[in-house]
Amino acid sequence: MSSYTEKLKRLEEAGRMRTLKPLSGRTGCRIEYKGRTLLNLTSNDYLGLAGDRELHRRFYSSLDEPGFLNTFGLGAASSRLLTGDSDMAHSLEECLQTAYKKEACLLFNSGYHANIGILPALFAKNDLILSDKLNHASIMDGMQLSKAQFKRYRHRDYDHLVSLLKTYRKRFNKVVIVSESVFSMDGDVADIGQLIALKEEYDCMLYLDEAHAIGLYGRKGLGMAEEHETVEGIDFLVGTFGKAPASIGAFVLCTEEIRSYLINHSRSLIFTTALPPVVHSWNHFVMQKIFSLEAKRIHLKKLGSKLRISLVENGLKTDGTTNIVPVMIGDDALAISYAVKMQKKGYLILPVRPPAVPEGTARFRLSLTADMEWDDIKNIAADISDIVIKGEL
């Protein structure tokens, strides 16, 4: 038996074996899985745009116009630094720069590319990265690729962050505080105002990942930084198109100096084929739509609040304040078993287990989307309670 087989066997015994799950037949907030149509509670399509057929029809309405390859081409066929750059990519950067009122914007191929490309490019061995302990794995990977030292502060524990700053700030040239705004597995929110105050007090920089906030918060849907009027105080604001904008790609808002530096030093930008024109076109198109989707944002906020109340009333443990609603299970094997039972009840729920979450905190991650109505989810708390608390078979 090879070492890989042994490790796979241990994963399976621990209830942590992962497999791919082909899905099809997306219709609004429902999707086909294993021959059944289920309410999709696993998606990051927070605004319901990926399943919006009419929106897609409007996007493709000019498909037959002359020069359509500039807008709908499927292959960049090169990196941006060779022949893969496009007018559409620059138009998208200018659109975002203007919307956020920042000096510059630079696109990346995904949030993962951004986080593993920006941190190693900007921070060296005499620098320090201070990261929230529950930041996304891509941020952890970016820190490990960097030659900078890094330390993690306890989740949203800013007293702990202060103690680290007091101890270490003067030992390093540059120090950057890194946090998500909305945390992807807990649905809770960083105190951006306090992070800005600390970065100013201790002469640091602030790197904020808004992946799970873009489209959902702020008057124009620009994220938590817009919601709390703190955009100006953030040195590196990272956003992705892979969640609410229903696409792929990412961006960082920064200074012109940093943009130029990243173009010349960020390996995940330099050494990868650029995204195709059709992706930049969709991202530009959909961001213009997101600016005006305040009604969807309000609706989603109400759904999340109502569901949390229902979960607590049914004796279940939850957390957070956003449309990401965790239901704590604890044991890995139980989370798997309960998820299968929920699928039989008509809900596409998949268990979240370590290393995606800390040991002993396996859970359901209920991801609400704006194309859901209360009638779609009104029974879910009782259904989970029947399985988790009452032990329904």
Q: Residue 16 has what pLDDT?
A: 86
pLDDT per residue as tens digits for the range 86-133: 999 999 999 999 999 999 999 999 999 999 999 999 999 999 999 999
Q: Residue 134 has what pLDDT?
A: 96
Q: What are the backbone angles phi and psi of residue 325, rounded to the nearest 5°? A: -120, 105
β-pair partners for 363 = 328, 352
362 and 292 Cβ atoms separated by less than 8 Å? no
Sequence ranges of the domains in the chain: 9-54+294-388, 73-290
pLDDT per residue as tens digits for the range 318-364: 999 999 999 999 999 999 999 999 999 999 999 999 999 999 999 99
- In the CATH hierarchy, which fold is given to the domain comprising 9-54+294-388? Aspartate Aminotransferase, domain 1 (3.90.1150)
Contacts of 11 (CB under 8 A, 6+ apart): 17, 18
The SS3 call for residue 171 is: helix
Q: Residue 1 has what pLDDT?
A: 59
| Residue type present at position 174 | K
49 and 285 Cβ atoms separated by less than 8 Å? no
Q: Residue 393 has what pLDDT?
A: 52
Q: Residue 390 has what pLDDT?
A: 78
| Residue type present at position 161 | L
Residues in the chain where the model's pLDDT stays below 70 = 1, 392-393
- Going by C-alpha positions, the residue among 239, 179, 251 that lies closest to residue 213 is 239
Q: Residue 25 has what pLDDT?
A: 79
Q: Residue 287 has what pLDDT?
A: 96
Question: What does the chain come to in residues?
Answer: 393
Instruction: Give the CATH number of domain 73-290; options: 3.40.50.2300, 1.10.3470.10, 3.40.640.10, 3.40.50.300.
Output: 3.40.640.10
Q: What are the backbone angles phi and psi of residue 246, rounded to the nearest 5°? A: 60, 45
Please give the model's pTM, rounded to 2 decimal places: 0.94
Calculate Rg over the CA atoms of the chain: 22
Q: Residue 18 has what pLDDT?
A: 87
Q: Residue 326 has what pLDDT?
A: 96
